[in-house]
Amino acid sequence: MVVSRCFTMKSLKMFSVQRRGMHLLKDKAYINGEWVKATSNAVYPVQNPADDNVITELPDMDAADAKTAVDAAANTFKTWRDTTAKERSYILRKWFNLCEKHSDDLAAIITAEAGKPLAESKGEIAYGNSFLEWFADTARHINGEIIPSPWPNKQILLTRQPLGVVSVITPWNFPYAMITRKVGALMAAGCTCVIKPSEDTPLSALAAAELAEQAGVPKGVINVITSSRKNAPGVGKVLCEDENVGCISFTGSTFVGKILYGQAAKGIKRVALELGGNAPYIVFPSADIEHALDQAMLAKFRNNGQACIGANRFLIHEAVYDKFVEGFKSRIGKKCILGPGTKEGVTCGPLINKEQAKKVSGLVDDAVSKGAEALIGGKFAKELGDKFYESTLLVNVKPDMNIYNEEIFGPVASCLKISSEEEALKIANSTRSGLAAYVFTKDLGQAFRMSRQLEFGMVAINDGILSAAEPAFGGIKESGIGREGSLHGAEEYTDIKYTLMSALDK
C-alpha cells in the first residue's frame, strides 16, 4: 500500500511509503516518559487491513508490563495532582497546537492502521483535537461549591479532587479521538493514566503520546502499553484490579464492558463505560425526506458503518417508505465508493479485520436466508480483498432475523416499515442498548415527545451527526455509565470532598 504524505521507518519493519512524519511512527511502547520494549522482548505485528501488509511490530506486553505502567502513573500522580488548573490548561493547549500542526501525519497513520479513507481520517483528527482544545479551557472551570450552612458558626465546602490513575482502554474504530476525549478530560481534572489501545490500531495512540511529550506533558502522566489479543486479558486484569487504579474508562463492546465492570467491582473502582449501541433512525411523514436521506448517509456509512452511534435500524413511516427506500438505494449506489483508504475518491474502506467481516456478512446472509432482500450490495467485493464488504440496503427485515436485534457495526442498512409513532417507540425501545437515536420530523410536539420517550442517552432531531466536544456523550441501559465531553466529562474523573469549617465564632 502507498500512503501519500505519510511516514517511514526502518525498511525491515515498514512497507514503502513516502518520507513524511517519520518521527510520529513508533515501534515501542511509552512508559514513564521512555520508549520501551516488553520485558519479555516479545513483539506482534500491526497490519494494514486493506492488504494485510505489516506496518511495523510493537511490544507484546503482559501483566508485568502493565503493572510497571500503573506504578509509574501512580508515582507521577503525587505531583501532577498538585499542579494548578492554569498549568494543566497551558500544557493541554500546547498538546492541541502540536496535534493541529501534525494533523496530516496523524491522519495518514490512522488510514494505514484502520483502513479509513484519508479524508475521513482527517475528520477524525479534527474531531479528536477538538477535545484537547475543549478540555484545555475546561481545566480552569472544574469548580466546587459553598453550601449555606444550617449552623451559624460553621461553613460547608465541597471541592473536586482528581481521583487518581485512570486506566484508558480504547477501541479500533476511532483510535485517536477516543484517546483525546478521555485523556484530555482526565488530565484537566489532574489525573494520570495508562492507555491500552486496541491491538489493531495502536499507532495513533503512540503518535499522540509522542506529541504529548513534545508539548511538555510530564513523564508518567501518559503511559501507553501495547499488546496482542493473547495478552490483552492479563493486561486488562491489572488495569482493572490494581489497587493504584482509581477509574477504568472503556469504550468498546457491551460484552467486554461487562467483564471489565465485574473486575472493577472487586476494588469498588469508578467506571466510565461507553458501550455498544443499536440506534434507531426514525423518519415520519412530515420530515424533509431529501434532508433525511442526506443525513442517513452520514449516520449509517461514516467509518463504513463501524461506529457505536451509527444508525442501525431505519424505521420509516409507511407514507414515505417507498420514497425513502428508493432515494436511499440511489444514494448508496452513487456515494458509497469502496476501496483502499489512500485511493482518491474512496468513501468506504475495508472492515477492520476478518472477524468483523465475518460477522457483518453472517448477519446479511442470515437475513436473506429468512426472506430479507438486498436491494443493493449484500456481498464481498472480492476483487478488492477479503475485508471489503459492499454497502448494503436490506428490506423485508423481520424480528426472527439476527440483524433485527443485533448491532451491525458495518455498512448494512436495514429498513422497517412503521405505521405510527407508538409503533416506532415500541420497536426503538425494544433493546437493552440505549446510546443514540435519530428522529426526523417537522412536528415540534412530536419531536419533544420522541425525545422524552425514547430510551436513549442521546437523541438527534433532524440530524445524523450528534458528536462534538461540547455536549455530554453517553448512553443508558447496557450502553454505558457516565458521560464524555462537556464539563461533565472532566468531572467524571473527580471525587467530591466535603470539608466542614467549624468553630468560626471562636
Q: Write out the catalytic residue numbers.
A: 274, 308
Q: Are strands 270-274 and 245-251 parallel, antiparallel or unpaired?
A: parallel
- Return the beta strands (E) in 48-191 as ranges: 54-59, 145-147, 155-162, 165-169
* CA–CA gap between residue 275 and residue 252 (Å, rounded): 5
CB-facing half-sphere around the CA of 334: CA atoms within 13 A: 9
Residue for grid cell 472480492? 382
Indicate the helix (H) or strand (E) that contains 454. none
* CA–CA gap between residue 88 and residue 267 (Å, rounded): 29
Give bridge partners of residue 145 from the DSSP assignment: 158
Task: Read off the amino acid at residue 310.
Answer: G
DSSP helix/strand/coil, 83: coil
- The number of angstroms, rounded, from the C-alpha of 397 to the middle of its chain's C-alpha atoms is 28
Give bridge partners of residue 50 from the DSSP assignment: none
Residues 6+ apart with CB under 8 A from 82: none
- Return the beta strands (E) in 284-418 as ranges: 311-317, 373-376, 392-395, 412-418
Other beta carbons within 10 Å of 46: 20
* CA–CA gap between residue 473 and residue 309 (Å, rounded): 10
* CA–CA gap between residue 272 and residue 261 (Å, rounded): 9
* Dihedral (CA of 322, 419, 368, 332) sign: positive
* CA–CA gap between residue 425 and residue 3 (Å, rounded): 45
> What Å distances lie between residue 300 and 211, 240, 445, CA to CA?
32, 33, 26
DSSP helix/strand/coil, 302: helix
DSSP helix/strand/coil, 245: strand
